[in-house]
Amino acid sequence: MAHKKRIMIAVGARPNFMKSAAVWKALKRHPGFDLCLVHTGQHYDREMSDTFFRELELPEPDIHLGIGSGSHAGQTGRIMIDFEPVVLDIRPDLLIVVGDVNSTVACAMVAVKLGIPVAHVEAGLRSFDRRMPEEINRLLTDRISDLLFTTEEDAGRNLRREGIPGDRIFFVGNVMIDTLRANREKAEKSRIHERLGLKENDGYRDYALLTLHRPSNVDDKRVLEGLLSVLSDLSHRLPVIFPVHPRTLKRIREFGLDDRISFDAGEGWPETRASNGRLWTLPPLGYLDFLSLMSHAALVLSDSGGIQEETTILGVPCLTLRPNTERPITIQEGTNRLIGNDPETVARSAREILGGDVPKGKIPRFWDGRAAERIFRILKIYLGMEKSG
């Protein structure tokens, strides 16, 4: 038998874990693939990392770089410096990177310069907003990757417009949705509704779910204060459950906005909820609890990338608190609406959804739970394990 092909998968931040889990599971079935998982340590809190590895049944990383937080240049640079000797040592036949976080671009750059081919999963998404750090990461990673796996047809069009040869681009579907589909049943067993005291009432749909972490929403005091005020107002009408990203918590404290939320969510939650028009804040949740909450929400408000896609599959209305999206299909075909961060618009849009003006979505092509399987088949051919055709 031909020698095994070494495939390295690099991950670093929370949204990478659900995507790489699907890829890992598809590739590990092949006896000819020797897999190596590297965690940069961009995210390191238990709730931001370990919980996901456990719930998604990802193995312990073979290598953990323990990079941690820092400025963009500091974090990206440190990842590159520490990742290089790992690649030199292991000499993979291929590196797989996923998504658009700093770890994605840092690892891709290292491998490419060492002559290792790079496959980018979730390539070609563009917000056309270069103020977003992720947009820079996406542009650079795509430019230097050898294989570009896309989730929606717009992404392929973006890549071709940028001059990337069509034979490197593969429309395979959405690996994050593979993971969602594989875990839906398990998520139904989550006790999170009970823990939060949410009553079963018309399938629980009597609360809103909120996440906020984009620098453009949380790093400016005026913007964050406006959002917290309007969402606190909304919580007079229905509970607004708010698992708080560490970056956002840091800013809330720095800006002295603690009074807008009911934040004593140390060990003590679920007692953190308040019925007096404050947000029900929680520490970041694990994958299954969050999926369960999302599946049954009346409304999701978020500035995340992935949540726009997950709510589309779940058929739950999503108001995206951003001026643009790199995932246009969630608007064209899904349940997503872009509303920006102006408090009045947020309030009006939430009222509309709660008043029954709910977008009816459909399932985008290839978001069928088999995207990682398609990647597997393409890699077998690319790595010479199987003939094409």
Where does this chain bind ligand UD1 (CB under 6 A)?
13-15, 42-45, 48, 69, 100-102, 133-134, 213, 245-247, 250
DSSP 76-123: HHHHHHHHHHHHHHH--SEEEEETTSHHHHHHHHHHHHTT--EEEEEE
Residue with Cβ nearer ligand UD1 (44 or 207): 44
The conformation of residue 292, written as its DSSP 8-state character, comes to: H
Distance separating alpha carbons of residues 121 and 261, to the nearest angstrom: 37
Residue burial 287-314, b: 16+ Cβ < 10 Å; e: rest: bbbbbbbbbbbbbbbbbbbbbbbbbbbb
Token pair recorded at residue 218: 């949380």
Residue with Cβ nearer ligand UD1 (13 or 180): 13
Residue with Cβ nearer ligand UD1 (122 or 152): 122
Q: Cβ atoms within 10 A of the Cβ of 220, count? A: 14
Residue with Cβ nearer ligand UD1 (45 or 271): 45
| Residues belonging to the active site | 213
- In the complex, the smallest distance separating the C-beta of residue 251 from ligand UD1, rounded to whole angstroms, is 9
For residue 124, is it left (φ>0), alpha (ψ between -120 and 50) or beta? left
- In the complex, the smallest distance separating the C-beta of residue 378 from ligand UD1, rounded to whole angstroms, is 26
- In the complex, the smallest distance separating the C-beta of residue 266 from ligand UD1, rounded to whole angstroms, is 15
Q: Is the dihedral of CA 122, 95, 81, 36 positive or negative?
A: positive
Distance separating alpha carbons of residues 264 and 260, to the nearest angstrom: 12
- In the complex, the smallest distance separating the C-beta of residue 105 from ligand UD1, rounded to whole angstroms, is 9
Residue with the two structure tokens 């060492």: 114
Residue 66 vs residues 40, 44, 241, 286, 341: alpha-carbon distances, Å = 6, 8, 31, 21, 34
One-letter amino acid of 27: L
DSSP 196-248: HT---SSTT---EEEE---HHHHSSHHHHHHHHHHHHHHHHHS-EEEEPPHHH
Residue with the two structure tokens 């417009």: 161
Nearest alpha carbon to residue 83 among 5, 7, 4, 11: 11
- In the complex, the smallest distance separating the C-beta of residue 303 from ligand UD1, rounded to whole angstroms, is 9
Q: Is residue 383 within 8 Å of 190, Cβ to Cβ?
A: no
- In the complex, the smallest distance separating the C-beta of residue 317 from ligand UD1, rounded to whole angstroms, is 21
Residue 254 vs residues 43, 128, 219, 257, 280: alpha-carbon distances, Å = 21, 30, 10, 8, 20
- In the complex, the smallest distance separating the C-beta of residue 88 from ligand UD1, rounded to whole angstroms, is 24
Residue with Cβ nearer ligand UD1 (211 or 235): 211
Residue with Cβ nearer ligand UD1 (246 or 270): 246
Residue with Cβ nearer ligand UD1 (126 or 245): 245
